[in-house]
Amino acid sequence: MREIIFDTETTGLDPHTGDRMVEIGCVEMIGRVPTGKTFHAYFNPERDMPAGAEAVHGLSAIFLSDKPCFRDSFQELLDFLEDSPLVAHNAGFDFGFLNNELTLCGSPIISLERMIDTVAIARRKHPGAKLSLDALCTRYGIDRSHRVKHGALLDAELLAQVYIELTGGRQIGLELAAETAGDSLGDRSFTGLSRQSDRPRRAPRPHSATAEELAAHASFLETITEPLWNRR
């Protein structure tokens, strides 16, 4: 099954008060294995960038000033998303901004039926635990040392690894995933692994004691005084 893991960066927390989406990053997965296909874009929000938001993702109004507006480039994004389920961390937030941008363009919004929220999955699996992306990366041993600031594509790539762990771990469907994703995976996901049928088979080891072993055992038993098996 094809799924898209995505993340957004914005000018603030609420699209209904004028905040806009400024970056989106998407990672394609097939059979819960990243295929290597991604989509990434910056957007000119046509407004200022609050200092608090810039401190989170590092995207300034000057940097974004020469980027395309969402309305001028959103069709490429929709072509990448197709009709696949969309996975995000605290997905209501990302869906809210994405659908707000589509509404401003006069485009149909994306159905919430396609939404998969990894926060909700993590809350069911780890009740009472910290559920931030950083906390889940730590829990599952996912390297995030290169994550200095938030970035939509980087966060989507980290979330893809977290999503795999939340839904069964790296051991799920290795052979099925290889067949589903095809040659595009190369050796990236299965380095060092081989199919069971490729492993060398050892001859069966003898499981009966030899005469010498039986004699040694009998001699040992004679050294035991008042053995438990003789008590009544």
Structural domains of the chain in order of their starting residue, each with its CATH number: 2-189 (3.30.420.10)
Of 40-54, 63-77, 79-93, 203-217, which range is least confident? 203-217
Known binding-site residue numbers for a divalent metal cation: 7, 9, 155
Mean pLDDT within 17-45: 96
Helix 118-125 × helix 152-166 angle, to 10°: 40
**Closest listed residue to residue 136, CA positions, set 110, 160, 107, 152:** 160
Catalytic annotation, pick one of 126, 150, 207, 217? 150
89 flagged as catalytic: no
C-beta of residue 163 within 8 angstroms of C-beta of residue 5: yes
- For residue 209, the model assigns a pLDDT of 72
Q: Which two tokens stand for residue 185?
A: 């995976």
Give whole-number Cα distances, 118 to 11, 72, 144, 220, in Å.
23, 30, 18, 61
Put simply, whether the predicted model's pTM sits higher than 0.85 gets the answer no
- Going by pLDDT thresholds of 50, 70 and 90, the confidence category of residue 168 is confident
- For residue 201, the model assigns a pLDDT of 62
- Tens-digit pLDDT profile for residues 93-151: 999 999 999 999 999 999 999 999 999 999 999 999 999 999 999 999 999 887 766 78
Residue 99 per-residue DSSP state: H
